[in-house]
Amino acid sequence: MSDRWLHGILRGGVTERSAGPLVVKVGGSLLARPRWAELIAELLAGTPRRCTVVVGGGPVVDGLRTIDAAAPQAAEAMHWRAIEALGITARIVAEALSLPLVDAPQATRGVLDVPVWLRRDVTLPAGWHVTSDSIAAVVAAAAAAGLLLAKSVPPPVGGVPAVAAGGWVDAHFPVVAARLAHIAWAAPISPMPAGPLRDER
């Protein structure tokens, strides 16, 4: 484990150190931190070879939220615009970390092209209550993998219901996470620079 990350468990075992497949959800707000690529690379260095990275939307999707709040759009349309934005952040992270962009969980480490993967008959409710947290949980369930949620701040105490109630994950997360036996979390030890801490989408 990296000395720059805190680690904990929401359910089951220590998934980031297990030998089995792992899905790592990288919260979009982490991309607003200085030297974020180095920080994420340190986290991934301690994960299994079979590791699929799902990147949140962060500031890119926050812009869509702002637009939607000012002049509400059709939920389904905004849902897919936000998902397309996840393709942008996925490419940024894949290029920065010299990782392949993959369209499905692989036997080797890669960054998931979420829009491509979701269009393969993966059905999720449309709305801002469903973000990359839930998407990462669905990916982990489909791949029979553990889930590691890497975010800017540690979660509230109390397991999956508490982190959803506290807004650390999206409201739909407990529904899709019910299929997962192992859920861990990680957060940088250093505080986040001043500004919004949203990891959504």
Query: What tens digit of pLDDT does each residue of 146-185 get?
Result: 999 999 999 988 888 888 888 898 888 999 999 999 999 9
Q: Given CA atoms 67, 111, 91, 84 in this order, what sign does their dihedral have?
A: negative
What are the structural domains, with CATH classification, of the chain? Answer: 5-188 (3.40.1160.10)
d(CA 174, CA 133): 10
Lookup: tokens for 129: 């209550």
**Whether 148 contacts 191, CB under 8 Å:** no
pLDDT at position 184 is 94
Kindly report the three-state secondary structure assignment for every residue of 131-175: CHHHHHHHHHHHCCCEEEEECCCCCCCCHHHHHHHCCCCCCCHHH
d(CA 153, CA 189): 9
Residue scoring higher pLDDT (54 or 83): 54
Check pLDDT > 90 for residue 57: no
Non-local (6+) Cβ contacts of 54 within 8 A are 23, 24, 25, 26, 90, 112, 114, 132, 135, 136, 139
When pLDDT is cut at 50, 70 and 90, the band that residue 190 belongs to is confident
Region 54-58 average pLDDT: 88
Region 94-114 average pLDDT: 93
When pLDDT is cut at 50, 70 and 90, the band that residue 85 belongs to is confident
Region 68-97 average pLDDT: 85
Q: What would the pLDDT profile of 132-151 be if each residue is shown by its tens digit?
A: 899 999 999 999 999 999 99
pLDDT at position 150 is 95
- Which pTM was predicted? 0.87
Q: What would the pLDDT profile of 7-47 be if each residue is shown by its tens digit?
A: 999 988 654 445 678 999 999 889 988 899 999 999 999 88
C-alpha to C-alpha distances, 51 to 77, 148, 175, nearest whole angstrom: 30, 10, 23
Region 79-90 average pLDDT: 86
Check pLDDT > 80 for residue 111: yes
Non-local (6+) Cβ contacts of 24 within 8 A are 16, 43, 44, 47, 51, 52, 53, 54, 136, 148, 150
